[in-house]
Amino acid sequence: MKILVLNCGSSSLKYQLVDMQTEQALAKGLVERIGIENSRIVHQKGEGEKVTIEQDIPNHQVAVQLAIDALLHTGHGVITDVKEISAAGHRVVHGGENFSQAAIVTDEVKKAIAECSSLAPLHNPANLVGIEACEKILDVKQVVVFDTAFHQTMPEKAFMYALPYGLYEKYKVRRYGFHGTSHKYVSVQAAALLGKPIADLKLISCHLGNGASVCAINAGKCIDTSMGLTPLEGLIMGTRTGDMDPAAVTFVMEKEKLSPAGMDDLMNKTSGVHGVSGVSSDFRDLEQAATDGNERAKLALDMYAYRVAKYIGAYTAAMNGVDAIIFTAGVGENGASTRKDICEYLGYLGVSINDERNGKRGIEIDISADNAKTRVVVIPTNEELTIARETLQLIK
Ligand code: ADP
């Protein structure tokens, strides 16, 4: 059985066709600049060469059609008939309090996704457009998998903000958390790697990509996570502030005469390690700059590792212990020196990493020293596979 996994952004569409027997991606691709000039599709069959086709792509329906055409292509395609696609699974960013798990797409589900649009104005409308584009082209069941769903097990004391309670009742202002699909996937894989049932484990998962979040997972269930109402809260990220005094927001707005949208832009797009260093949001550039003696790049990296370590301490307290810490996503999987910097704070937990293992890439690996009490593992994330697995489960 083959499942098409789709992730629609406002001007982009990522797709992957997953073979559920082998759980491998047969092909994947990215349609970029939908509705903008110079749009194109970059398609890759298996691990083969990437093929780029530049053409006018006015809307998401054309984008979905192009993705399917690429999958059917006699050269770089991987299927001969569109009927080989058994179902489509969509990544949806915000499910609000409506969804604690994936769901089959119905009119009610689409309505509920639209209702969450005020919580994710950039993402949910684009996700819906992708679902509707697929409906017109493919005659298959569709499933939606939410970034927020895994975090719906958080207790009230973890998800409530100490604002007047009426704001929660009126607008559902609370912590939702994101990257749920990734935290769920890596926690399951980590338990398997450690050879223990997930029900017996207290795990702290660190998804460190452009966006970054930490999640406390007790017995397979999320009990707390660092992102909040939006993906801005928690860790310092590539271009996002993460935690700070909320009063700094109104202070800066007044001083700089910024509108809410202007301040939102500043906190999301020009802050984080990029804002502090003035160099880049990419950790490879930051590490190079720090090595070359750039003090602010060094400061940004120090602040980043310190913040992650503080969250690990907090979540250890929340679970009254931790058995393993998981690193995943771009920085978590590749940034050996960032992992090391974070782990240096954690000696009190019995964390100790083996430098040779920490230098390995691209595999699931326990990078702890042999005698370490708390394990540290690196798990390459695979959100598409999780979406495909959940889609399969629902359509069965
Ligand atoms: P996204 O949140 O966009 O999915 P990724 O998980 O792909 O992000 O992470 C992208 C980030 O990973 C890059 O911005 C870069 O900082 C980091 N990264 C990629 N390769 C390396 C590397 N070799 N060393 C350190 N950081 C890396």
pLDDT tens for each residue of 215-270: 999 999 999 999 999 999 999 999 999 999 999 999 999 999 999 999 999 999 99
What is residue 262's predicted lDDT score, i.e. its pLDDT?
97
Per-residue pLDDT at 243: 98
Per-residue confidence (pLDDT) for residue 339, from 0 to 100: 98
**DSSP string covering 95-159, please?**
-TTT-SS-EE--HHHHHHHHHGGGTSTTTHHHHHHHHHHHHHH--SEEEEEETTGGGGG--HHHH
Catalytic annotation present for 139: no
Q: Which residues in the chain come in under a pLDDT of 70? A: none
Q: Residue 122's pLDDT is what?
A: 81
pLDDT score, position 9:
85
284 alpha carbon to ligand 1 midpoint, in Å? 8
For residue 3, the cross-strand partners are: 18, 87
pLDDT digits 0-9 by tens, 101-159 = 999 999 999 999 999 998 888 889 999 999 999 999 999 999 999 999 999 999 999 99
pLDDT at 351: 98
> What is the value of pTM for the model shown?
0.94
CA of 282 to the centre of ligand 1 (A): 7
- Residue labelled with tokens 């998401």: 60
Question: DSSP 3-state assignment of 275?
Answer: helix
pLDDT of residue 3: 98
Of 19, 147, 302, 323, the active-site residue reads: 147
pLDDT given at position 223: 98
Expressed in angstroms and rounded, the spacing between residue 331 Cα and the centre of ligand 1 is 5
